[in-house]
Structure 1
Amino acid sequence: MNEFTVREFTVSSPDAGPYALAEGPDGALWFTLVHQDAVARRDPGDGRVTVHPVGAGPTVIAPGPDGAMWFTEYRAHRVGRIAPDGTYSSFAPPTPEGGPFGIVAGPDGAMWFTLSGVDRVGRVTMDGEVTEYPAPGAFPSAITVGPDGALWCALNQQNAVGRLTTDGRGTAHPLPTGGAAPVGITAGPDGALWFTEIGAGRIGRITVAGEITEYPLSDPAARPHAVTAGPDGALWFTEWGSGRIGRITVDGHVTSYALSRPDSEPHGIARHDGAVWCALETGSLARIEVTHDRTHDRSHDRSHD
């Protein structure tokens, strides 16, 4: 059967707000401290945490093709860059007060990010040149690269998933469930995109052809937030409303696992060091280690609530 080990590491004060995290090109785990206006690095060897002050409201973080980490500064309305040695710079999109949120390394050597407040998607080159395109719908949140070489984003207030080519052509795919309010999105191991429906308590799957499947969670109030592909061939997601971590196989079997506190506020989730890690806004990072058994996936998964 699948075995899960959860360990939590305190990395900040409870009011600093670890929000999102990602493995860096340097092998370290980088995470944002959204309320402390800082980005931090957890050393892969001794676990030492180094905190770097940045602009206001650092939110989502992602590795860049240049060996640095790139992140959105939601309240400063800028995109930040931090090198492994802590050197920091930031870049302003052309549209002011845009509320940048999601960010990902694109297939074209640039970073792509969402401007949730102004319904736009931005692109920034490694030398800081920023361009923008209209988003395919309202309030684009998380963004990822699909297997088709396009950018895919959750359109939170459009109740849709959007697709944007690297030359700026957008398409929206409406969701079957009203009020789904998608937030997180990631490329799955099955050639599809997987996303969270924070408003409907569901996990969604969309093929590059636009075919959508939704999987309801056992707790409709779980408020699934971020999602990532795990090291075990399944998708992992945070349940912000219930203080749990969820797992869904590519054929739709869902399990859910409790963290130390129901009010731990798990937000970002990422693969790192052979495990799944998530950011708890109460001041910790949780590491979920998985021992995988595919037979268990097919026939014995059950929901825990």
Structure 2
Amino acid sequence: MRVFVCEFVTGGGLRDAALPESLAREAALIRDAMRRDLAALPQVSEILLAADDRLPVPGAVAVTAGADAWAIWRTLAQQADVVWPVAPETDGVLARLVEMLRENCACVLACAPEAIAAASKLETARRLAAAGVPHIPTFPLAQAPDLAGPRITKPDDGAGCEDTRFWPEGVPATPARRDGLVIQPFVAGEAASLTVLAGPEGVQLLTVNRQHIAVEDGRVFLAGLTVGALGDGDGRLAALAGEVVRAMPGLEGIFGIDILLTDAGPVVVEVNPRLTTAYAGLGAALGLNPATLLPPFADAATTPRAGNRTPVELALA
């Protein structure tokens, strides 16, 4: 079986633009974990890869200045039996990438188009509100009501903490750019994320991860995370994951849900319809190869067992 790992950031998607160091670091962590897990599978005969030539990888097809990364990915997808893509939602990149790959390979491990489209912050909030799932109210910045207290602004289709800013109470929210931004009330709580597996057999909460969020000059960023740091003794977080999947049909495979653990209970911040950085520590936290949880590589003998996880620290800054 030939598997094409199509990671957008390190794979040439930003070859003719500046390559943000933090974004590239997180993307490389995810990519390398995917390659490591696939390399351990006896049914995988070859791992195909493209790499921005500023971030060379031995054996990868180099994407050089001026090259058409999308054409290179298309060719690799046609050569593969399975494609496993990762990309940010920003500017619709993830949706376009998955669509292109599905036109060129019969087996693409990705969420359905409707789930990717629903990952817009505004659409996610609308879907969750309609389903009665606890979430943070979200408004277009240009049409927002007056919000008391601190606030957060971020891109509607952004990934991670991209362009995310904290605005203290009494300070007008005046980011340098206003188009495509949303605003949310700041909600106090412990920042966490859920790594979730969804498929024909149902929804399973794999790990609950503690996020180490920092604020510097109003800029919000993820300084690191501890994969598998938190438990779910009462099952509320597993139930929340199931509610999110029901509210957003098409979430499949391994994906992430950002949450806040508040005094009133867990609240959904956003949904990431793709692998997140937590995947880099998932195997060690679970004590198994997470690739074996996906249909093309499934191994019933490695189904995660309920119980404690081994916390895995990932430093990102």
TM over 0.5: no
Going by fraction, where is strand more abundant, 1 or 2? 1
* TM norm structure 1: 0.30
Higher relative contact order (CA 8 A, sep 6+): 2
